[in-house]
Amino acid sequence: MNRNMTIGGHVVGASLALALMGGASSALAAPITFFGEDTSTAGVLGTNSAQARTDFLANLTGVGNEDFESFTSGSSSPLNLSFPGSSGSLSATLTGTGVIAGSPAVGRFATSGTKYLEVSTGSFVIDFLDPVSAFGFNGIDIGDFVTNQMVLKLTNTLGDTTELTVPHSLGIGNFAQATLFFGFYDLAQSFTSIEFTNAGGGDLFAFDDMVIGDAEQVTPTPVPEPATLALLGLGLLGLGARRRLFSRSA
């Protein structure tokens, strides 16, 4: 006989608990993203962008920041990057259309220091020698001439791919000095490469202050909602088993 529990006036069975757990498992497979945008600034990282970055970093421990200050202006890809990891350095290589710029240009500037990565329309790729589970960046002057939003193509350690669209505005003024922050972390998988793509427009963008983290550096607090649902599901299963045990004893 199936036995149900009543919680808050609703009948809840063990099958629902299993569904919650299954849903939690599926939800954990998707990266958790952070985004903030300022369509016009005075040449500094905007308030919304900075807040999104702060929210993202609150979920990480012991990560570093690539501000491109160690590179010579005019350096082009491949660029070798290094970040602190949980047990040593995390190495990465950036290839594609990027070049290190050392002074402001039309709509573009560094969000820290004086240097930044300037990229033309097309794509660039960051390959990680050590798999990462978190990545974030400041973007500058994105969304004025391009006709589509930027897409990040993530490749995990099994070779499977996930695409994340950066939901930035289009049609931003050429001199608006717009900024954004976009980042993600993933509790279920790690990635070996990230490809940036943006179609159309013949535009130039700037990137600065990139952050990566390995799985051990992702320390979200509080526990994300899907995990909370999984705990609820386990609790419901436990209560159901206890009721069945007492029923048989009676």
86 secondary structure, DSSP code: T
Distance CA 135, CA 145 (A): 25
Task: Express each pLDDT in 28-56 by its tens digit.
Answer: 468 999 999 999 999 999 999 999 999 99
pLDDT band of 8, cuts 50, 70, 90: very low
The answer to whether position 123 is within a domain reads yes
Q: What pTM did the predictor assign?
A: 0.78
Instruction: Select the more confidently predicted residue: 237 or 95.
Output: 95
Q: Is residue 203 part of a domain?
A: yes
pLDDT number for residue 148: 87
* pLDDT tens per residue, range 123-165: 899 999 999 999 999 999 998 888 889 999 999 999 999 999 9
**Is the pLDDT assigned to residue 4 strictly greater than 80?**
no
Q: Is residue 6 one of the residues assigned to a domain?
A: no
pLDDT digits (tens, 9 = 90+) for 188-230: 999 999 999 875 566 789 999 999 999 999 999 775 555 544 5
The structural domain count of the chain equals: 1
Q: What is the pLDDT of residue 134?
A: 98
Look over the chain and give the mean of its residue pLDDT values, rounded to a whole number: 83
Decide if pLDDT at 58 tops 80. Answer: yes
Instruction: State the DSSP string of 173-214.
Output: -TTS--EEEEEEE-SS--EEEEEEEE-SS--EEEEEEEEEE-
Rounded percentage of the chain residues whose pLDDT exceeds 70: 75
Q: Around Cβ 127, how many Cβ atoms within 10 Å?
A: 16
The answer to whether residue 167 is domain-embedded is yes
Q: According to the model, what pLDDT value does residue 239 have?
A: 52
Would residue 245 count as lying in a domain? Answer: no
For residue 11, what are the contacts with CB-CB under 8 A and spacing of at least 6?
Answer: 4, 5
- The answer to whether residue 20 scores a pLDDT higher than 80 is no
- Report pLDDT for 143: 87
Among 5-19, 83-97, 121-135, 179-193, the least confident range = 5-19
Residue-level pLDDT at 224: 56
Please check whether residue 245 is in contact with residue 238, taking contact to mean a CB–CB distance below 8 angstroms. Answer: no
Asked if the structure places residue 148 within a domain, the reply is yes
Q: Which residue has the higher pLDDT, 50 or 231?
A: 50
What pLDDT score does 16 carry? 35
Q: What are phi and psi of 216, to 5 degrees?
A: -75, -15
In which domain, by residue range, is 83 found?
30-240
Copy the structure tokens of residue 59.
Answer: 């979920």
> Per-residue pLDDT for 21 more than 90?
no
Q: What is the distance of C-alpha 187 from the center of its chain? A: 11
Q: Evaluate whether residue 231 is within a structural domain.
A: yes
CATH of the domain at 195: 2.60.120
User: Residue 142: which of 184, 193, 185, 176 has the closest Cα?
Assistant: 176
Any domain includes 211: yes
pLDDT for residue 15 is more than 90: no
